[in-house]
Amino acid sequence: MKKILLSVFTVLFLGLLFNCSTVQVKNPHIQREWMLISLDNFTKNELIKNKAGINLTAPKENGKIRGSAFMGCNNMFFSSEFKNNGKVKISGVGSTMKACQNMDLETKFSKSFQNMTKYLVEGHFLTLSDDHGNTMKFVAADWD
């Protein structure tokens, strides 16, 4: 009986030990998928039609999150660093090079996105802004 109990406790302890590994915990306020709902003069219908959004679900590495974006044609990628003081740094913005019929949204997004310097998370909304008052607003994709 003692051997059985010892075996059970050993298995439970090992299970607990392996489940407490060094997996990085994501910041649920930032590290999620975001749908773009406001950018310049683009309508919500245009943004929805193009499935405009960013994906920040990758693990943090050295304080940075490798992200991706899609605005209807090309796949984009970037590096982002969200700091506790509401500052954000977007760098390394690039994309695939497909020639698409209408690239207005994609062009505007890529030019504006890399200039964003501040962020604010309010509930399920993420707002990025630059030093000139231009903004991009997103809603969490998992929010309904």
pLDDT in tens, 78-123: 999 999 999 999 999 999 999 899 999 999 999 999 999 999 999 9
Q: Which two tokens stand for residue 107?
A: 């062009």
Nearest-angstrom CA–CA distance, 134 and 17: 48
Which has the closest alpha carbon to 73: 49, 99, 94, 92?
Answer: 99
Band of the pLDDT at 29, cuts 50, 70, 90? confident
Q: Indicate the Cα dihedral angle 42, 47, 48, 54, nearest 10°.
A: -150
Q: Confidence band (pLDDT; 50, 70, 90) for 2?
A: low
**Separation of alpha carbons 8 and 14, rounded Å:** 10
**Phi, psi angles (nearest 5°) of residue 140:** -60, 130
Q: Residue for token digits 């209807």? A: 72
Q: Measured over all CA atoms, what is the biggest interatomic distance in the chain, rounded to whole angstroms? A: 74
User: Per DSSP, what are the bridge partners of residue 109?
Assistant: none
